Amino acid sequence: MCGIFGIYRHPEAAKLAVYGLYALQHRGQESAGVASSDGDVLHLAKGMGLVSEVFGGRDLDDLPGDCSIGHVRYSTSGSSYLANAGPILAATQHGEVALGHNGNLVNCCDLREELEGGGAIFSTTTDSEVILHLFARSTQADPVDALVESLKRLQGAFSLVVLLRDALVGVRDPWGFRPLVLGDLEGSPVLASETCALDLLNARYIREIAPGEVIIMDREGIRSLFPFPKVQPVPCIFEYVYFARPDSDLFGRVVFPIRQAMGRILAKEHPVEADMVVPVPDSGLPAAMGYSEQSGIPLVWGLIRNHYVGRTFIAPRQSMRDVSVRLKLNAVPALLKGKRVVLVDDSLVRGTTSRKIVRLVRDAGAAEVHLRLSSPPIVNSCVYGIDTPERSELLAANMDLEAITAFVEADSVGYLSVEGMHAAAETDLGRACHACFGGPYPVQYTQLRERQRHLFEKDHR
Ligand code: AMP
């Protein structure tokens, strides 16, 4: 879970990278960083916290040059501390390189063991750093060739922005798990995780970076390579369900109407007699609109969100998460009292937030609370870059519907079906990754989480 950004040949490159990161803040809130190249030397500024906390009020004089990359991070691999914040920078025999990575490499443990066995000294506990070590060791003469050689060793999810002294490279893994788009700002090419970052800059959206594409921007212009063996692309459907911003055009389709369609199908699959549809803001809103349209039950803003606190999940410790639910949402008794409520959210993960929200609505006087989720039960952990807890913590992996309903203290619970989700997203089962919803894992991995924790989660603070 990260957001990445890159811009080539713009006089205000670092400033625009910071702006781009503001638009991608939803993809990661633990740290923010920007690297720039002045054509000779690479510069780096990063810190823990939100983009505004790291860069707000800063003049960016320490980030000169007309090429820049940016990164916002929410850790799926490696702990949350400054050395692990992106971009990560290294000096190598091919020159300096800075890397921003979104995704999770499933063979990072094998690669790290191999590299450490050969004497490599790692300075972070991220999976991304293996890419820099592979690059540093490549015997290819040309830096771009060295990068491409390294990329061929990677398995799993990697959308990348790579800054070299005089080039910017964008990469999307052959499965296309995570998004990456190309835009143009007055002749300067822009790379971003999502189109909402292009919109903010008033940059023109050109196209998605294709799965398996390596796009190189240098003095010779823009060119693309396709160095990986061809596989069936399987973009992550959870991006459509929850992760991406609803105003983004993702994998060729705008997210908001897909979420609305999920809500419409949910209403058909799990109708209920009720007085109002209440969205869990913000993530449940588009689906709640769809549910309301389909069912004819009015949409009522019965929960109010405080926008000045981050996403609930972002606080990594359970005790902190509990507090942040109350910080984030309040119910409106004047609207809810005596009413039969359909509460619509996008997903149920551990169930802890949802249980509190159901209680909030009930405490505000609702007569009935029917929870509707615009995605299927999450039964598996993601190993491709979305932070989902271990299976043992996933509610739907351990309980049947009746037990889930009792746990969240709702009158009923209804999940969108896997088929309904794909129908809304206009994807089909084999053409999108839905491993978290019980689908196959498109890239094999062996005990990744256990090994990854062992290798990468040593505390270096
Ligand atoms: P819970 O009550 O613990 O099941 O949390 C469900 C809430 O978490 C839903 O409102 C989702 O919008 C949100 N959510 C789902 N997946 C994630 C994720 N990977 N990271 C952060 N929040 C998430």
SS3 content of the chain, % helix, strand, coil (to 5): 35, 25, 40
Residue ending a domain, choose from 202, 234, 266: 234
> Does ligand 1 come within 6 angstroms of the Cβ of 381?
no
Q: Confidence band (pLDDT; 50, 70, 90) for 164?
A: very high
| Most ligand 1 atoms within 8 A of CB, residue of 278, 312, 407, 408 to mutate | 312
* Together in a domain, 228 and 280: no
pTM score, whole prediction = 0.93
The response to whether residue 349 sits with its C-beta less than 6 Å from ligand 1 reads yes
**Ligand 1 in contact with 311 (CB < 6 A)?**
yes
Q: What DSSP character marks residue 11?
A: T
Q: Whole-angstrom Cα distance, residue 395 to residue 400?
A: 9
Task: Indicate whether 246 belongs to any domain.
Answer: no
Nearest Cα to 346, choosing from 222, 245, 218?
245
Distances (CA, A) of 387 to 1, 74, 99, 176: 7, 8, 21, 18
d(CA 125, CA 350): 26
Measure the CA–CA gap between 306 and 326, rounded to whole angstroms.
10
Largest separation between any pair of C-alpha atoms in the chain: 73
Round to whole Å and give the CA distance between 362 and 42. 55
Residue 350 CA from chain centroid, whole number: 18
Going by alpha carbons, the residue nearest to atom 18 of ligand 1 is 387
Judge if 162 and 301 occupy the same domain. Answer: no
**Active-site annotation holds for 2:** yes
Q: Whose CA is nearest to atom 9 of ligand 1?
A: 347
- Within 152-295, residue ranges assigned H as helices are 195-201, 237-238, 255-269, 285-295
| 221 and 123 co-located in one domain | yes
Give me the percent of the chain exceeding a pLDDT of 70: 92
Asked whether residue 368 is assigned to any structural domain, the reply reads: yes
Confidence of residue 321 (pLDDT cuts 50, 70, 90): low
| Highest mean pLDDT: which range of 122-126, 311-315, 402-406 | 402-406
Residue 300 dihedral angles phi and psi, to the nearest 5°: -130, 135
Nearest ligand 1 atom, CA 355: 2
172 and 119 in a common domain = yes
Has residue 312 got a pLDDT over 80? no
Question: How many angstroms does the Cα of residue 349 sit away from the middle of ligand 1?
Answer: 6
Cβ contact 100:112 at 8 Å: no
Residue 320 has pLDDT above 60, yes or no: no
- Catalytic residue (one of 2, 67, 382, 433): 2
Query: Which protein residue's CA is at the shortest distance from atom 20 of ligand 1?
Result: 313
Ligand 1 in reach of 239 Cβ (< 6 A): no
User: Which domain CATH number covers 142?
Assistant: 3.60.20.10
Ligand 1 lined by 30 (C-beta under 6 Å): no
Residues 201 and 342 in one domain: no
Ligand 1 atom 13, closest CA:
347
Shared domain check, 209 and 287:
no
Query: Is the pLDDT assigned to residue 461 strictly greater than 60?
Result: no
Instruction: Supply the pLDDT for residue 238.
Output: 97
Query: Domain check: are 289 and 394 in the same one?
Result: yes
Q: Is the CB of 346 under 6 A from ligand 1?
A: yes
What value does the mean pLDDT take over residues 260-274? 98
Q: Pick the more confident residue, 316 or 191.
A: 191
pLDDT of residue 427: 86
Q: How far is the CA of 273 from the centre of ligand 1 (A)?
A: 26
Whether pLDDT at 307 is above 90:
no
Looking at the structure of the chain, the number of domains it has is 2
Do 213 and 318 belong together in one domain?
no
- Other beta carbons within 10 Å of 82: 13
Has residue 446 been placed in a domain? no
Q: Check if 352 has its Cβ closer than 6 Å to any atom of ligand 1.
A: yes
What CATH number has the domain bearing residue 284?
A: 3.40.50.2020
Question: Of all protein residues, whose CA lies closest to atom 23 belonging to ligand 1?
Answer: 313
Ligand 1 centroid, distance to 242 Cα (angstroms): 8
pLDDT in the model for residue 184: 98
The answer on 283 and 206 residing in a single domain is no
459 belongs to a structural domain: no
Which residue CA neighbors atom 1 of ligand 1 most closely?
Answer: 351
pLDDT greater than 90 at residue 241: yes
CA of 403 to the centre of ligand 1 (A): 19
Residues 30-51 have pLDDT tens digits of 999 999 999 999 999 999 999 9
The answer to whether the beta carbons of residues 245 and 196 sit under 8 Å apart is: yes
Phi and psi, residue 258, nearest 5°: -65, -45
The answer on pLDDT for 212 being more than 90 is yes
In a domain, 99, yes or no: yes
Cβ–ligand 1 contact at 350 (below 6 Å): yes
Residue 431 has a CB neighbour count (10 Å cut-off) of 14
**Residue 239, in any domain of the structure:** no
Look-up of token digits 């509990």: 322
Q: Tell me the mean pLDDT in the region 56-67.
A: 94
Check pocket membership of 359 for ligand 1, CB cut-off 6 A: no
Return d(Cα 188, Cα 343) in angstroms, integer.
45
410 CA distance to ligand 1 centroid (A)?
17
Whole-number average pLDDT of the chain: 92
Q: Do 189 and 302 fall within a single domain?
A: no
Same domain, 70 and 168: yes
Angle at Cα 185 formed by Cα 181 and Cα 187, nearest 5°? 110
Q: Which has the higher per-residue pLDDT, 263 or 75?
A: 263
Angle at 124 between CA 119 and CA 127, to 5 degrees: 90
Mutation test residue for ligand 1: of 317, 347, 357, 409, the one with most atoms within 8 Å of CB: 347
- What domain range includes position 110? 2-234
The two structure tokens encoding residue 395: 């509610």
The answer to the question of residue 188 being in a domain is yes
Q: Are 337 and 315 in contact (CB under 8 A)?
A: no
305 lines ligand 1 (CB under 6 A): no
Asked if residue 444 is part of any domain, the answer here is no
Size of the chain, expressed as the number of residues it contains: 461
Q: Are residues 213 and 271 in the same domain?
A: no
